[in-house]
Amino acid sequence: MDRRSFLRTTAVATLAGTAHIAPADDSDDTTSVADTDASDMIWDLHCHFSGVPGPTIEDRTRQILEYADRMGVQRLVFFMGWPWSPNPTPDDFRRQNDQVLEALGKWPDRLFGFAYLNGHHPQESLVEIERCIANGPMVGIKLWVARKCSNEALDPIIARCGELNAAIYQHTWLKTQGNLAGESTPMDLALLAARHPTVPIICGHTGGDWTRGIRAVRANKNVSIGIGGSEPTSGFVEMAVRELGAERVIYGSDVGGRSFSSQLAKIYGAEVPDGAKQLILGHNLKRMLSSILRTKGIQS
């Protein structure tokens, strides 16, 4: 059985418990994936250093890359260091971005980085964009739960990312018992996207409640959805492709909070054409990042 058939038929079931896999051998500093053709390309939008053992960023990254190799994931986007801070000070987000930069320096051929920012500190966030993206190797930003993205104070951050062709990943959720005070919903993101109609933005988690999240951003053609970080529920990907088009759906795992296998199962198990699966698994993210990667001379 070839690798593609294995992934589509058996790996999802047999490798679901990745959290119990033994750590990578620390004596081996190399990581690789098997040669793949374009149809097998998997780029993971959503990765963290949490959820795996290891006292250092290098140890944790090596462990995650071992899991990624087993599942055929070629490129991984990391954002936020650890420990997490939901409302980081500028010193906090600079420290976490330094951790991501450390990993990028070790595995530049496998990893991309998004700078973690805080909408409560727009000026300092702009400075961090210059440090990490304009003058550094990162290719996007991550906004979490500090300040709702519908707040116009975030507009300079979004505009600068647009100038740099940097990706924008905004966490969104629709919690049954109410969101955190600064936590964005897909409806907040739709308001932000409408103010910046030419800037591509990613609706992280599709709001959790994906039936509402998909509809909330459907009219905003500059918004793609990230489908990582939730249960592999039947119908999610099918609805997203039907309502948005496959070109606006992007795979991500939310590893190490989630396993690669459970999140890949959303795509492999979906009743959508193979061509749609290929777009979701990697081609859409590669297209979104293509301009900034060319500018930086990063081979993709």
User: Could you give the CA distance from residue 132 to residue 156 in angstroms, rounded to a whole number?
Assistant: 16
What pLDDT is recorded for position 82? 86
| DSSP codes joined into one string, the chain | --HHHHIIIIIHHHT--GGGSPPPPTT----------GGG--EEEEE-STTS--SSHHHHHHHHHHHHHHHT--EEEE---SS--SS--HHHHHHHHHHHHHHHHH-TTTEEEEEEE-TT-HHHHHHHHIIIIISSS--EEEE-SSS-TTSGGGHHHHHHHHHHT-EEEEEEE--TT---TT---HHHHHHHHHHSTTS-EEEEEEESSHHHHHHHHTT-TTEEEE--SS---TTHHHHHHHHH-GGGEE----BTTS-HHHHHHHHHTSSS-HHHHHIIIIIHHHHHHHHHHHHHT---
pLDDT score at 16: 38
Reading the chain (300 residues) residue by residue, the pLDDT tens digits are 234 553 544 343 333 333 333 334 443 444 444 445 567 899 999 999 998 999 999 999 999 999 999 999 999 999 999 889 999 999 999 999 999 999 999 999 999 999 999 999 999 999 999 999 999 999 999 999 999 999 999 999 999 999 999 999 999 999 999 999 999 999 999 999 999 999 999 999 999 999 999 999 999 999 999 999 988 999 999 999 999 999 999 999 999 999 999 999 999 999 999 999 999 999 999 999 999 999 999 988
Q: Identify which of 118, 113, 114 has the alpha carbon closest to the alpha carbon of residue 88.
A: 118
Buried-state track 188-211, b at ≥16 Cβ within 10 A, e below 16:
bbbbbbeebeebbbbbbbbbbbbe
- Looking from the CA of 240 toward its CB, the CA atoms found within 13 Å total 34
Domains of the chain: 36-296 (3.20.20.140)
C-alpha–C-alpha distance, residues 128 and 235, integer Å: 39
pTM of the model: 0.90
What pLDDT is recorded for position 299?
Answer: 87
Amino acid identity at 9: T
Provide the phi-psi class of 263: left if phi over 0, else alpha when psi is between -120 and 50, else beta.
alpha
For residues 153 and 155, give the distance between their C-alpha atoms in angstroms, rounded to a whole number: 6
